[in-house]
Chain A
Amino acid sequence: MKIPLAAPTIRARLTGWYALALTAMLVVYATATFIAVRHEFLEQLDERLHDDFEVAEGRLTRTADGRVGWAVAHEDAHDSESRVYEVWSATGEQIHRSGAPTPLPPIALGATNTSYRYETVVANGERWRTIAAPVTIGGHNVVLRVSRSEERVREELSEVLLVLVLGLPLVVVLAGVGGYLLARRALLPIDHLASEARRITAERLHERLQVPNERDEIGRLTTVINGTFARLESSFEQLRRFTADSSHELRTPLAVVRGIGEAAVAERRSPAEYEEAIGSMLEEVDRMSGLVDTLLRLSHGDAGTIRLSRETLDLGQAARDVATSLGILAEERNQKLTLDTTSGVLVAADRLVLREAVTNVLDNAIKYSPDGATVAMRVERVGDEALLAISDEGPGIPPEHRERIFDRFFRVDASRSRNGGGAGLGLAIAKWAVEIHGGHITVTDRSGGGSEFRILLPLAQQTAAVDRRSTQVYVGGSS
């Protein structure tokens, strides 16, 4: 089970990691240093022993009776405390001993018959370093051993160790403090950023954070946050507009209903006049319920509570169905409605929702094209997407409005509002219906005038291999 701990701040964590890493490095470094120093000290000791040995060799003399003797030098006294000189006969008898009184273990003769032999021995709880080698003096083969106490070297090494061991925590603490300050300094801009960002509330969404340096990490973070603010601002703006527009669109028919009703009851009228009044009230109510339905649908869509029942559909067939349904509207206006399809462009879509999208876009194209114009639908495969393009000969969409054409309640020509048709929700519904399928909808200007709406949807998995093109004129034809 995890114990919930308050998560430490980044600063604390940085400091911790920094101190930990530094400690690890220092331990390794100190160990290496100590090993090197120790090795160096012991080597020096051996070198000094070797020098001692050579001096001692010079002291060996031959006595008058033909035995091996020891010439005493006057400088022996001052260092006799730390050294022992011994001469051993080939048979293992000690011939001479001088220096410190510490009783050293006897020499092992077997191995000393060739060259210098270094050895560490323990006597009276002290460690002694010895050097031994065979020497021939006046025809006698003897073994000379010189020993030095290691105690001084060991003491020095202890001091070094002490310095290292005591110094380490100190350095680590200093490093921790340094790391903390460093981390604080590095993170200061983030604290600053946080307090700046906190300042920007729903009412002040137009404000942005200052970017001191775009290229460093903080600068990039700031840019990202600013981007989020920009998107948030535009969503807020959209929501505000949507709310204002919905209440406007709902209030207008309410006002009309009320006005007609009040005018009708203000004085006695003929049945025909009452009928007229009631009829026009009903029309408004009808319009209003349509609007409420659409708004509810959009808000369901926003809330993501609409479930799609997807099936594999032929996009060409879907376009054909809508063209059949709306063809009569084009016919009324002497427009030509054509459909250019490639068969086997399959999409996985909810039939009814997709139909909604196509219906709204096609209706739009018919509505805004002049009498006698041609409205052309085209279905084809573009890369790994299915394209349904609908082009009209309408006035086109000014570039400054192209972004907003799919916004709810947006109308290019505000004066067309209630008489030209819907409340400006058709394309918003279409956009929603396309995007819920993972597709996207765009609009471009056609070179010959008019616009082309392009609905792009992901192709279904089992797209047929055979493409058969066909062009169909729905209405208009050659007449």
Chain B
Amino acid sequence: MPLVRVLVVEDERKLAQVLASALRAQHYDVVVAPTGEDGFFQANAETFDLVLLDLMLPGRNGLEILETLRKRHVQTPVLILTARDGVDDRVLGLDLGADDYLVKPFALPELLARIRALLRRGRPAEVVRLKVGDLELDLAGRRVTRAGRLLDLTAREFELLEYLLRHQGHVVSREMLAHEIWKEPRRATPIDNVIDVQVARLRRKVDLDGHERLIHTVRGVGFVLREGEL
């Protein structure tokens, strides 16, 4: 499988470095453009599978770059990064052809999840059975088994487990869970508590005694479902 190429247009050196190293850790081929001009040049000259675009750039505004790219029929998926959470900016970005956006400060797991989602786009991904180790989740029958034993999960627990399974091997932040599972637009302390309690319960049901632990807590970041210890 050829490497996935990602262009990161970000002027803040530290953040660009962090992004690049996190993406490389996911085995993406990363090119960093430190200015708007450079980013525009790179995006035009080469082929990328995805562009991470900061909106506030020296030289050339992110929205301008996006607009010009789309006018030239460059259809590479673009994920916008912005520090402003004004609705207008977002809407404008999406109107100009961005595929998704994230507000700084964002959690890295969320960024990675969004990138995976954008890269997955357009591919048929109809899965009926999700699996990790001896844990199996049957989407059609809404059944979960661990080592062949049926687990009795609530609807919410099922959803949560499905989400963790779909992101298996990747860290899932509380923010993502609040948004995707609890449909809470904003993260607030009460919801974080709810998430923690819910994950703890799910873990009690899934990680039965004598079985390998699958649901892990990554301190300060979130949760991850995977085989083997961290």
Chain A positions near chain B (C-beta within 8 angstroms): 275-276, 278-283, 285-286, 289-290, 293-294, 296-297, 325-326, 328-329, 332, 352, 356, 359-360, 362-363, 421-422, 426, 429
- B28-36, B44-52, B216-224: which lies at the A interface? B216-224
Q: Chain A's interface: helix, strand, loop or mixed, by majority?
A: helix
The answer for the CA separation of A329 and B187 in the assembled complex, in Å, is: 16
Which residues of chain B have C-beta atoms less than 8 A from A278's C-beta? 220
A421 contact set on B, CB distance < 8 A: 189, 193
A363 touches B193 (CB 8 A): yes
What residues of chain A lie closer than 8 Å to B197, measured between beta carbons? 328-329, 332
Query: Within 8 Å CB of A429, what residues of B?
Result: 188
Neighbour of B198 across the interface among A293, A328, A359, CB < 8 A? A328
A-B pair count, CB < 8 Å, reads 62
Residue of B nearest to A363 (CB): B190
A280 to B220, CA, bound (A): 6
Q: Are A352 and B194 in contact (CB under 8 A)?
A: no
User: Would you give the shortest CB distance from A160 to chain B, in whole angstroms?
Assistant: 82
Residues A283 and B219 in contact, CB atoms below 8 Å apart = yes
| Contact between chains at A282 and B188 (CB < 8 Å) | no
Q: How far is the CA of A281 from the CA of B198 in the complex (A)?
A: 24
Q: Residues of A contacting B187 with CB < 8 Å?
A: 290, 293
A422 lies within 8 A of B220 (CB): no
B190 pairs with A359, CB closer than 8 A: yes
Q: Which B residues between 160 and 205 are near A, CB-CB below 8 angstroms?
A: 182, 184-191, 193-194, 197-198, 201
Q: How far is the CA of A328 from the CA of B192 in the complex (A)?
A: 12
Known: A325-B184, A363-B190. 6 other contacts (CB 8 A): A275-B219, A285-B220, A293-B187, A325-B182, A360-B190, A421-B189
Summarize B's interface: helix, strand, loop or mixed: loop
Closest-by-CB residue of B relative to A426 is B189
With A282-B219, A286-B220, A328-B197 in contact, is A352–B185 under 8 Å at CB? yes
Residues of B within 8 A of A275 (CB): 219
A selection of 13 A-B contacts at a CB cut-off of 8 Å is A279-B219, A280-B220, A281-B220, A283-B219, A283-B220, A290-B189, A297-B186, A326-B190, A332-B197, A362-B190, A421-B189, A421-B193, A429-B188
- Asked if A359 contacts B188 (CB within 8 A), the reply is yes
Q: Is the CB of B194 within 8 A of A280?
A: no
Q: How far does the Cβ of A252 sit from chain B's closest Cβ, in whole Å?
A: 16
Query: Which residues of chain A are within 8 angstroms of B185 by Cβ–Cβ distance?
Result: 352
Q: Which of A286, A332, A429 has the most CB of B within 10 A?
A: A286
Measured in the bound complex, the distance between the Cα atoms of B70 and A318 in whole Å is: 42
Q: Quick one: which of A290, A421, A426 has the most chain B CB within 10 A?
A: A290
Partner of B191, one of A281, A285, A293, A359: A359
Which B residues are CB-close (under 8 A) to A352?
185-186
Which residues in B have their C-beta under 8 angstroms from that of A280? 219-220
Q: How far is the CB of B25 from chain A (nearest CB, A)?
A: 15
- Nearest-CB distance from B107 to chain A (Å)? 8
What's the Cα separation between A316 and B150 when bound, in Å?
36
Chain B residue with the shortest CB-CB distance to A276: B219
A426 touching B190, Cβ below 8 Å:
yes
Which residues of chain B from 78 to 113 have any CB-CB distance to chain A below 8 Å in the complex?
85, 105
Query: Which listed residue (A279, A332, A359, A422) contacts B218, Cβ 8 A?
Result: A279
Contact between A356 and B221, CB atoms less than 8 A apart? no
A289 cross-chain contacts in B, Cβ below 8 A: 105
Please report the C-alpha to C-alpha distance between residue A359 and residue B178 in the assembled complex, in whole angstroms: 14
CB distance from A367 to the nearest CB of B (A): 9
Contact A279 B198 (CB under 8 A): no
Which B residues from 107 to 159 make CB contacts under 8 A with A? none
Give the docked Cα–Cα distance between A332 and B186 (Å).
23
- Least Cβ–Cβ distance between A296 and chain B, in angstroms: 8
Chain B residues, Cβ within 8 Å of A328: 194, 197-198, 201
Collect the chain A residues with CB atoms within 8 Å of residue B220's CB: 278-283, 285-286
Proximity bits, B54-94, A CB within 8 Å = 1, else 0:
00000000000000000000000000000001000000000
Q: Which residue of the partner chain A has the closest CB to B173?
A: A286
Chain B residues in 8 Å Cβ range of A282: 219-221
B193 touches A329 (CB 8 A): yes
Q: Find chain B residues with CB under 8 A from A332 CB.
A: 197
Q: Assess whether B190 is in contact with A329, with CB atoms less than 8 Å apart.
A: yes
**Complexed CA–CA distance, A281 and B221 (Å):** 10
Kindly state the separation between the CA atoms of A431 and B188 in the bound complex, as whole angstroms: 15
Known contacts A279-B219, A282-B221, A285-B220: does B194 contact A326 (CB below 8 Å)?
Answer: yes
Interface residues of B in 5-42 (CB under 8 A from A): none
Per the bound structure, the CA–CA distance linking A352 and B185 in Å amounts to 7
Distance A326 CA – B196 CA, assembled complex (angstroms): 12
Q: Once the chains are docked, how many angstroms separate the CA of A228 from the CA of B108?
A: 50
Query: In whole angstroms, how far apart are the Cα atoms of A426 and B85 in the complex?
Result: 21
List of 6 A-B pairs having minimum Cβ-Cβ separation, nearest first = A282-B220, A279-B219, A363-B190, A422-B189, A283-B220, A279-B220
Alpha-carbon distance between A356 and B178 when the two chains are bound, in angstroms? 13
* Bound CA span A294–B201, Å: 28
Tell me, rounded to whole Å, the shortest Cβ–Cβ distance linking A403 to chain B. Answer: 24
The residue in chain A whose Cβ has the minimal distance to the Cβ of B182 is A325
The docked-state distance in angstroms from the alpha carbon of A275 to that of B189 is 24
